[in-house]
Amino acid sequence: MEDTGLSIRIESLRDCDVVVLDGELDQQSAPKLGEALERAAARGKRVVVDLTELRFIDSSGLHVLLSGPGMTDGRRAVVCPPGNVARVLSIVRADAALHVYEHLDEALDGAATHREP
């Protein structure tokens, strides 16, 4: 398999599936994220996407991040500390569609707060 410049792992923490990205999220690697998000959403838990180690994101990556399972029911949140990726999320107003947090603990606490009744 071709190296996409992105590593993805899924961890279970506090009743959430945390999808941890490391590298670059672009046209080449976006499908890999889409598959990971589908797997995580299928498990029925809230999904937190941790962008802490992400160094680059383009429009293809944004599209996958802002679409798919878990977006319409509010079950997806994002961890993104200040930096270039956070600036891109701010420009596209990702916070209108996602809960965006600077730290993983905040996202996990927020996921517990935003549970469905």
What is the rounded average pLDDT of the residues 78-82? 96
Domains along the chain?
6-112 (3.30.750.24)
pLDDT digits 0-9 by tens, 92-111 = 999 888 899 999 999 998 86
Provide the pLDDT confidence category of residue 114 given band limits of 50, 70 and 90.
Answer: low
pTM comes to: 0.88
pLDDT digits 0-9 by tens, 16-45 = 999 999 999 999 999 999 999 999 989 888
Q: Provide the token pair at 31.
A: 């499908």
pLDDT score, position 7: 97
Provide the pLDDT confidence category of residue 69 given band limits of 50, 70 and 90.
Answer: confident
pLDDT score, position 1: 42
The pLDDT of residue 72 is above 70? no
Give me the sheet containing 99-101, strands edge to edge. 6-13, 16-25, 46-57, 76-79, 99-101
pLDDT score, position 110: 82
The pLDDT of residue 3 is above 90? no
